[in-house]
A = this chain, B = another copy of it.
Amino acid sequence: MAAGAEEARILDAWHANAQAWERAVREGRIESRRLATDQAILDAVLAHSPRTAIDVGCGEGWLARALAEKGVQVLGVDAVPALVETARAKGGDFRILSYEAIASGALDQRADVVVCNFSLLGGASVDALLVAAPRLLEPGGALIVQTLHPAMAGEPYADGWREGSWVGCGEGFGQAAPWYFRTLGSWVAAFGAAGMDLVQLVEPLHPDTGRPASVIFVAVARQAQPRSPG
């Protein structure tokens, strides 16, 4: 299946580029992250005053460490062993887990916030992860997803796979991964299909352009609908 092949290529690319990625993050190579989106995701998570958080697709773990510095008890999970090893070496609680494993219930833990920072890159794999998200949330907890702003991500404005690139990430990168573009409407629909409601949408502005550098979705598990008696 074509879609399955794309999902596999995402992981292949991260396996192949884990070291270059760790360096890009450590050296602050990605301008939009340095100028806007790193602080924005930190602010979005901390606004919920979480006691606990799960960082899904944590990579080399910068966000988990930044949250831990603020007193949050964080578990970071990622499918790429080299990234998890790097994260562990820098300190903190990290686990190797694929999204498929999380979707099938392998992560038996709940947190006040589940955060996915630019880590939802796939199609069906992400849909399955989202469906599992409510089971990772404490009552009243929030799923917080930062991703490319769909309206700022070029043509065509339609769901589908796009070729990725490491442009702007610095040196040392090899093959790039494809990623699955979703329109804003499709993101809202994906949360709905997973039994969640979008309660907040944050658009961090790039200081140079004044345009959104990303979008942050905050979703909560949908309350059971009250039924009329009888």
Instruction: Please indicate the chain B residues that have their CB under 8 angstroms from the CB of A215 in the complex.
Output: 184
Whether a CB of chain B sits under 8 angstroms from the CB of A163 is no
CA distance A156 to B189 in the complex (A): 28
Contact with B along A172-191 (1 / 0, CB 8 A): 00000000000111001100
Instruction: Please indicate the chain B residues that have their CB under 8 angstroms from the CB of A183 in the complex.
Output: 203
Whether a CB of chain B sits under 8 angstroms from the CB of A66 is no
State whether A157 touches B200 (Cβ < 8 A): no
Contact with B along A50-62 (1 / 0, CB 8 A): 0000000000000
Stoichiometry, copies per complex = 2
Whether a CB of chain B sits under 8 angstroms from the CB of A101 is no
Of the listed stretches A4-12, A13-21, A108-116, A205-213, chain B binds A205-213
CA distance A192 to B198 in the complex (A): 10
Whether a CB of chain B sits under 8 angstroms from the CB of A106 is no
Nearest Cβ in chain B — how far from A156, in angstroms? Answer: 5
Nearest Cβ in chain B — how far from A146, in angstroms? Answer: 13
- A188 — nearest CB in chain B belongs to which residue? B201
Q: For the complex, would chain A's binding face be called helix, strand, loop or mixed by DSSP majority?
A: mixed
State whether B200 touches A189 (Cβ < 8 A): yes
State whether B198 touches A157 (Cβ < 8 A): no
Whether a CB of chain B sits under 8 angstroms from the CB of A124 is no
State whether A155 touches B203 (Cβ < 8 A): no
Q: With A223-B223, A223-B226, A226-B224 known to touch, is A200 a contact of B188 (CB < 8 Å)? A: yes
Q: Please name 8 pairs of A and B residues whose Cβ atoms are closer than 8 Å in the assembled complex, sorted by A.
A: A151-B152, A155-B210, A183-B203, A185-B200, A185-B201, A185-B202, A188-B198, A224-B226
